[in-house]
A and B are shown apart, each in its own frame.
Chain A
Amino acid sequence: MEEIKKRIMIIGATSLMAEHCARIWVKDSPVDLTLVGRSTQKLEQVAEDLKVRSPHSNFNILQTDFIDPIAIRALIDKFFEIGTVDIVLIAHGSLPDQNACQDNLVDCHRELLVNGVSPVLFAEACAFHMQQSDYGRLVVIGSVAGDRGRKSNYIYGAAKGLVTRYVQGLQHRLADTNVKVTLVKPGPTDTPMTAHLKSKNQKLASVQDVAKLIVDAVDRGESTVYAPRKWGLIMMIIRHLPTIVFNKMNI
């Protein structure tokens, strides 16, 4: 008898973090994986790779608009209609140039939408179905930047802060169901999104390590995970710094 495969959807599947989560999931056992992204060509590259890693898994790719609530709803509804969903990972995002966002409200608007509003819309669409079936794991990638606004990237931070507050509320709403909602807050990670940070000689976490933490957190149904975990401590300190000290810092 063929084993039933886990059904997993990854939104923003071409992000490096998401891709590495997918590699871990297909390594464990064959899965039924749906990859959602903006560029079909890039999604195909990711799917080809995963297919070699796991020939017995099924892969679908879906191209969609990440801002349009109607399109988001339709995509998620359709996916849940087909059958039970085990895991949805919402991983898309972009790290904007803070100065560009300050200078140009069009940039600012787009970044707030992509990093804040869009993940919330996807999560909300999934939450409806997961609550109805009383089953499933939803994992959303936030960021340490959402913990406290800093002058160097508060537009991004504000969007991720929105995600944080949203997940908190959703966890409250689903507390007495079997649905688990996980928020992952990565610190600076070595991905194309952070290529410019490397030149400042910042020490970046490896994307493999972060992906492993994400997958483990989903398995355990944890509510909030910092990745790597040391960021939990660092951010606790930063959150509690008195304003008078904090405002003197150049971070």
Chain B
Amino acid sequence: MVAVSSWGRLKSSEHNVLEFSDRSQIQNLLKSNFPGVAHGMGRSYGDVCLNSNGNLWFTRGLDRFISFDSKTGKLICEAGVLLKDIQQMMVPKGWILPVTPGTQLATVGGAIANDVHGKNHHVLGTFGNHINKIKLVRTNGDIIECGPTLFPEFFSATVGGFGMTGVITEVEIQLRPVAGPWLNTEIIPYNDLDEFFNLADASEQEWEHTVSWIDCLSKKGRGIFMRGNHTDLNLGDIPNKSQLTVPFTPPVSLVNKLSLKPFNMFYYYLNKCHKSNTLSHYESFFYPLDNLQGWNKMYGPRGFYQYQCVIPREFGRDAILEMLNQITLSGDGSFLAVLKTFGDFKSVGMMSFPQSGVTLALDFPNKGNYSLRFFERLDAVVKEATGRIYIAKDARMSRDMFESGYPRLNEFLKYRDSGISSEFSRRLIGS
């Protein structure tokens, strides 16, 4: 048994780990080792990648490329390949992942299973929008190949299907051409939510990437808006920057009432005075936190919760304001708070998170019941505004919240592999 935890580090529990390294063997291995669930880099925050005291199928050893067509940008690879492996190898060849989340230390399989999104959702949708084909191995030994036109229902269930439809073993991804590793970026401070929405709307046409950091301790919702476009200016590649590592888990969370206010104030004014027009390397623009290895340890031994929701646009402003209000009332707060608008892209997955509207992501040190009660208050706001909570980040939402947020659940369950079970599935779909 091996102790495994997810990115939120809320708990560490024993798992019977089975490592996949030879893709031709998975079918055989699965037959005698279910129920269980696939686990890539464990970068999801809650419990979709956990199965305490049960089987966990490590896919990280499935890290081989299979083929690449340099004319069309079609890449076929195993599911345990890291987004980082793809970026580092492909950017010098003039190709890049069309959609990437805020870390490149995730596997391709995990990116599909959670149908991750990036800063360019309004232009290119989610990760799943760029997948041509998925090879799934089911615990009964069936192998299913699916894509947007090949068994499309299976495909739609698998993208964003948090690993429930089978083990993703091979994937065909459509990369997009890119001139080089650099982006033109702008940083613009905003004073309140109205300014944020104006900036987001004004940037939608001209800017591919938009995101913002929000000071969740400010009542009106001030923050820093960032936008970027790929540029063909080529400054060459920069050498690898030195990586910092959080060396140990501090006894208490470093993100707390004392540190948060000065942190947020400092960050806001630092960026406010910052030069607003710069060239950024894609690694520092897309993945700023990857440079601080093990940043999740900052929240101390009890770990932390991520709370990410999406709210339809018409209720967005009021709901976000109410959530900020709740945060102020609770006296708690979040440093890595992200506010971003989603475009009108229809997600391919039945259980995909992104939908048209505005998404807010917050992190909170785990304070046990106190945190859980606080999240229920946020839930009430989200539910009232007909929003939903991101499965990949969740470790605590109620069944009611889950079912109201994901109306295609019953349709999705038809494609589930009954030999797959995770802590998340037991918590929210009963088995």
A contact set with B: CB distance below 8 Å: 16, 41-42, 45-46, 48-49, 51-53, 55, 192, 195, 198-199, 201
Contact B3 A201 (CB under 8 A): yes
Please tell me if B267 contacts chain A, counting CB pairs below 8 Å. Answer: no
What are 13 A-to-B residue pairs whose CB atoms are below 8 Å?
A41-B24, A45-B22, A45-B24, A45-B64, A48-B65, A52-B65, A52-B75, A52-B77, A53-B89, A192-B19, A198-B2, A199-B1, A201-B3
Check A53–B21 contact: CB distance below 8 A.
no
Whether A199 contacts B65 in the complex (CB less than 8 A), given A45-B22, A55-B70, A192-B19, comes out as no
CB distance from A222 to the nearest CB of B (A): 24
Q: Which residue of A lies closest to B60 (CB)?
A: A190
A residues near B70, Cβ cutoff 8 Å: 55
Report if B383 contacts A (CB, 8 A). no
A192-B61, A199-B1 known; A49+B22 contact, CB < 8 A: no
The answer to whether A198 touches B17 (Cβ under 8 A) is yes
User: In the complex, are the beta carbons of B19 and A49 less than 8 A apart?
Assistant: no
What is the bound-complex CA distance between A198 and B17, given in angstroms? 9
* A48 in contact with B66 (CB, 8 Å): yes
Known contacts A195-B19, A198-B2, A199-B1: A49-B24 contact under CB 8 Å: no
CB of B68 closer than 8 Å to a CB of A: yes
B195 to chain A, nearest CB (A): 45
Q: Is B234 an interface residue when CB atoms closer than 8 A count as contact? A: no
Please tell me if B23 contacts chain A, counting CB pairs below 8 Å: yes
* A-B CB proximity, top 4 nearest: A52-B65, A49-B64, A52-B68, A49-B65
Q: Bound complex: CA of A46 vs CA of B19, how far in Å?
A: 17
Is A52's CB under 8 angstroms from B17's CB? no
**A9 CA to B188 CA in the complex, in Å?**
55
Which residue of chain A has the shortest Cβ distance to B77 in the bound complex? A52
Closest B residue to A54 by CB, please name it: B89
Q: Is B67 engaged at the interface, CB distance under 8 Å to the other chain?
A: yes
Q: Which of B236-271 contact A (CB under 8 A)?
A: none
Given A48-B64, A52-B66, CB of A16 within 8 Å of CB of B2: no
* Interface residue ranges of B33-87 to A (CB < 8 Å): 61, 64-68, 70, 75, 77
Once the chains bind, are A46 and B3 in contact (CB under 8 Å)?
no
Q: Which residue of B lies closest to A47 (CB)?
A: B64
Q: With a CB–CB cut-off of 8 A, which chain A residues contact B64?
A: 45-46, 48-49
Residue of B nearest to A42 (CB): B22
Residues of B within 8 A of A (CB): 1-3, 17, 19, 21-24, 61, 64-68, 70, 75, 77, 89
A201 and B4 alpha carbons, distance in the complex (Å): 11
Nearest residue (CB) in A for B89 is: A53
B94 to chain A, nearest CB (A): 13
Give the most central of A42, A45, A52, A201: most B CB within 10 Å.
A52
Contacting residues, chain A, for B67 (C-beta < 8 A): 48, 51-52
Determine the chain A residues whose CB is within 8 A of the CB of B22 once the complex forms. 42, 45
- B3 contacts A192, CB within 8 Å? no
Q: Taking A52-B68, A192-B61 as contacts, is the C-beta distance between A16 and B17 under 8 angstroms?
A: no
Given contacts A45-B24, A192-B19, 18 further A-B contacts (CB under 8 A): A16-B61, A42-B22, A42-B24, A45-B64, A46-B64, A48-B64, A48-B65, A48-B66, A52-B67, A52-B75, A53-B65, A195-B17, A195-B19, A198-B2, A198-B17, A199-B1, A199-B2, A201-B3
* CA–CA, A88 and B65, complex, Å: 24
Q: How far is the CB of A229 from chain B (nearest CB, A)?
A: 19
Which residues of chain B are within 8 angstroms of A46 by Cβ–Cβ distance?
64
Most A CB contacts (10 A, CB to CB) among B24, B64, B66, B70 go to B64
Bound CA span A192–B3, Å: 18
Min C-beta distance of B83 to chain A, whole Å: 16
* B262 CB to nearest A CB, Å: 36
Query: Pick the contact of B17 from A45, A48, A199 — CB < 8 Å?
Result: A199
CB distance from B243 to the nearest CB of A (A): 13
Residues on B with beta carbons closer than 8 Å to the beta carbon of A16 = 21, 61
Determine the chain A residues whose CB is within 8 A of the CB of B1 once the complex forms: 199
Closest to B81 in A: A49
Give B65's nearest chain A residue, CB to CB. Answer: A52
Q: A192-B61, A198-B2, A199-B1 are in contact. Are A49 and B66 (CB under 8 A)?
A: yes
- Of the listed residues B19, B21, B23, B77, the one surrounded by the most CB atoms of chain A closer than 10 A to its CB is B21
User: Please, which residues of chain B bring their CB within 8 A of the CB of A195?
Assistant: 17, 19
CB of B354 to closest CB in A, whole Å: 30
Question: What is the distance, in angstroms, from B296's C-beta to the closest C-beta of chain A?
Answer: 19
Q: Please, which residues of chain B bring their CB within 8 A of the CB of A52?
A: 65-68, 75, 77, 89
Bound-state CA distance A199–B109 (Å) is 24
Contacts of A51 in B (CB 8 A): 67
A125 to B89, CA, bound (A): 36
Report the minimum CB–CB distance from A31 to chain B (whole Å): 16
Contacts of B89 in A (CB 8 A): 52-53
A82 to chain B, nearest CB (A): 27
